């Protein structure tokens, strides 16, 4: 696999973005399109209050075929009832008319404030003429979907197809707060010129999301708009499924770290690895407990080696097999827990590690062979400042 230094699109994909008046300034509407329809798969939030675009998107993805994605930021179109559903459909219809394709081939997303009616007239006006601006830079579209992100996020890589043709996979995403995915991620769009049948694409995407985005948490809150969509237009021909999945996993792992590091107010990435668990479910539960604990997150932010918090976070997983005398833990390469007790270590050295980026926390439960990895970030005053005025800003 070759990782591109600067993200690029696969064959046949382009994007554009514009300011349509939802934000005070900056792009707030993005359009991603393939020149031909492709196989498609998607996973969405399991929140009981899904956004209108999620509701419509679940219908559209059943056909396993898409050609375009249209996304607005600032307003999420959540909690807006039948009017919101109608607005989501109108948004997709306007994008389809602009591209000259069937509206069933367009999936839409909205992100931003919950409970505010979608200004569909502004979106419709913003889409007019946008197809003429479609270009080859994924970062253009990435800027158009940002909310509290500090920077646009786009990655791409290259593998070889069955006939040695280069295959490109591109990932554009956003997400900084209200990030604790469940069956999807914040907003993420994957584009590839590989030829992959829709059912296989769905299976692969779900496996990869389960190991990456679903093990990411900024603040434990599962968004009402989480969507992860993938389109494979087949322009580069077939690819070996295993090689494709390996590349997709590597790309999504990289993006997971990018998203965690850019969490609202975050100053450093937290990577948690749990090994020696009796089951995969146990490993994931403990990893999530560690990376989501406010006390662990503030320990990391303050560079404070209060390792008793690790024992607390492991111990509160009451449904998990834990034998305290078998538990060990490391911060970086330093053993801080041995046999369920605080190990002897140099406080100054651990403080130094906690103030680095990333911070690696490893816990071994010592009762099995299963392992899991999770990604999070520290918790700072910046998170409170960002969210105390989110609706009004």
264 is in an annotated binding site: yes
Residue 180 has pLDDT above 60, yes or no: yes
Q: Are 200 and 187 in contact (CB under 8 A)?
A: no
Quote the CA–CA distance of 254 and 352 in Å, as a whole number. Answer: 25
Residue 383 lies in a domain: no
**368: containing domain:** 269-377
Q: What would the two tokens of residue 159 be?
A: 């593998």
Nearest to 123 by CA among 15, 28, 34: 28
Residues 114 and 255 in one domain: yes
Catalytic residue (choose from 18, 80, 185, 256): 185
Residue 385 inside a domain? The answer is no
Which helix (H) or strand (E) element contains residue 387?
Answer: helix 381-388
Structural domain contains residue 391 = no
Query: Considering all CA atoms of the chain, what is the largest pairwise distance in Å, rounded to the nearest integer?
Result: 68
Is 174 annotated among the ligand-binding residues? yes
Q: What is the CATH number of the domain that holds 276?
A: 3.10.20.340
The per-residue pLDDT for range 354-392, each reduced to its tens digit, is 999 999 999 999 999 999 999 999 887 767 776 676 665
Residue 362 lies in a domain: yes
Phi/psi at 257 (5° precision): -70, -40
Domain membership flag for residue 393? no
- Closest of 292, 298, 322, 296 to residue 309, by C-alpha: 296
- For residues 215 and 295, membership in a common domain is answered with no
Q: Can you tell me the distance from the alpha carbon of 215 to that of 256, in angstroms, rounded to the nearest whole number?
A: 9
User: Beta strand pairing status for 65-72 and 106-110?
Assistant: parallel
Residue 18 lies in a domain: yes
Do 317 and 169 share a structural domain?
A: no
Q: Which residue has the higher pLDDT, 304 or 368?
A: 368
Q: Please indicate, yes or no, whether residues 34 and 174 belong to a single structural domain of this protein.
A: yes
The 10s digit of each residue's pLDDT in 184-241 is: 768 999 999 999 999 999 999 999 999 999 999 887 878 899 999 999 999 999 999 9
pLDDT of residue 392: 58
Residues 41 and 154 in one domain: yes
Structure tokens, 288 = 């999530």
| Domain shared by 234 and 327, yes or no | no
Total structural domains within the chain: 2
pLDDT at 179 over 80: no
Percent share of the chain, pLDDT over 70: 96
Beta bridge partners of 373: 273
Q: Which residue reads 């948004």 in tokens?
A: 91
Residues 50 and 186 in one domain: yes
> What are the phi and psi torsion angles at 35 (to 5°)?
-80, -10
Indicate the average pLDDT of the chain: 94
pLDDT of residue 101: 98
Using CA atoms, how far apart are residues 203 and 230, in angstroms rounded to an integer?
12
Q: What is the CATH number of the domain that holds 94?
A: 3.60.70.12
Q: Check residue 218 and give its pLDDT.
A: 84
Same-domain pairing of 232 and 295: no
Dump the DSSP string for 251-289: HHHHHHHHHHHTSTT--SEEEEEEEEESSHHHHHHHHHH
DSSP string over 60-95: HGGG-EEEEEEEE-SB---S-HHHHHHHHHHHHHHH
According to DSSP, residue 304 is labeled -
CA 240, chain centre distance (Å): 25
204 closest CA partner among 40, 65, 60: 40
Domain boundary among 210, 230, 261: 261
Of 202, 229, 261, which one is at a domain's C-terminal end?
A: 261
- Measured distance CA(318)–CA(46) in Å, rounded: 24
Is residue 386 in some structural domain?
no
Same domain, 52 and 18: yes
> Residues 254, 291: one domain?
no
Instruction: Compute the distance between CA of residue 307 and CA of residue 354 in angstroms, rounded to an integer.
Output: 11
Quote the DSSP letter at residue 196. -
Is-catalytic flag, 224? no
End-to-end, the C-alpha distance of the chain in Å comes to 42
Q: Is residue 369 part of an annotated ligand binding site?
A: no
Residue-level pLDDT at 30: 98
The two tokens of residue 104 are: 């069933």
> Would you state the structure tokens that stand for residue 136, as one six-digit string?
């080859």
**Are both 306 and 230 inside the same structural domain?**
no
Nearest Cα neighbor of 29 from 154, 142, 165 is 142
What's the CA angle centered on 337, arms 331 and 341, to 5 degrees? 160
* Both tokens assigned to 313: 């976070």
Which tens digits make up the pLDDT trace of 136-165? 999 999 999 998 899 999 999 999 999 999
| Residue found under tokens 């404030």 | 113
Q: Are strands 153-160 and 2-3 parallel, antiparallel or unpaired?
A: antiparallel
Query: Do 179 and 119 lie in a common domain?
Result: yes
To the question of whether residue 393 is assigned a binding role by annotation, the answer is yes
- pLDDT digit string, tens, across residues 39-68: 999 999 999 999 999 999 999 999 999 999
- Whether residue 389 lies inside any domain: the answer is no
> End of a domain among 261, 282, 305?
261
């Amino acid at each position: 696999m070759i990782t591109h230094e600067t993200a690029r699109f696969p064959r046949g994909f382009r994007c554009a973005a514009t300011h349509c008046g939802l934000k005070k300034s900056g792009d707030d509407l993005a359009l991603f399109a393939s020149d031909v329809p492709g196989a498609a798969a998607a996973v969405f939030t399991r929140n009981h209050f899904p956004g209108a675009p999620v509701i419509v998107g679940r219908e559209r993805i059943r056909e396993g075929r898409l050609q375009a994605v249209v996304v607005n930021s600032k307003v999420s179109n959540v909690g807006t009832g039948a009017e919101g559903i109608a607005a989501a459909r109108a948004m997709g219809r306007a994008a389809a008319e602009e591209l000259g394709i069937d509206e069933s081939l367009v999936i839409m997303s909205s992100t931003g404030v919950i409970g505010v009616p979608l200004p569909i007239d502004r979106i419709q006006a913003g889409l007019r003429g946008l197809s003429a601006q479609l270009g080859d830079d994924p970062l253009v579209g990435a800027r158009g979907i940002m909310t509290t992100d500090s920077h646009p996020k786009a990655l791409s890589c290259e593998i070889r197809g069955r006939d040695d043709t280069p295959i490109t996979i591109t990932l554009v995403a956003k997400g900084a707060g209200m990030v604790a995915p469940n069956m999807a991620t914040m907003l993420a769009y994957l584009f590839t010129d590989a030829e992959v049948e829709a059912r296989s694409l769905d299976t692969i995407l779900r496996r990869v999301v389960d190991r990456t985005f679903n093990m990411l948490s900024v603040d434990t809150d599962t968004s009402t708009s989480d969507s992860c969509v993938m389109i494979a237009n087949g322009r580069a021909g077939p690819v070996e499924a295993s090689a494709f999945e390996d590349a997709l996993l590597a790309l999504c792992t990289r993006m997971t770290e990018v998203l965690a590091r850019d969490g609202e107010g975050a100053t450093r990435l937290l990577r948690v690895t749990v090994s020696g668990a009796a089951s995969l479910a146990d490993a994931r539960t403990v990893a999530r407990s560690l990376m989501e604990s406010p006390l662990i997150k503030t320990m990391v932010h303050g560079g404070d080696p209060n390792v008793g918090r690790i024992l607390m976070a492991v111990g509160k997983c009451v449904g998990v097999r834990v034998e305290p005398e078998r538990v060990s833990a490391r911060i970086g390469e330093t053993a801080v827990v041995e046999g369920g007790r605080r190990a002897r270590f140099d406080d100054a050295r651990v403080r130094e590690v906690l103030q680095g980026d990333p911070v690696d926390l490893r816990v071994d439960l010592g009762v099995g062979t299963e392992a899991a990895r999770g990604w999070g970030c520290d918790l700072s005053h910046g998170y409170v400042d960002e969210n105390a005025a989110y609706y009004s800003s």
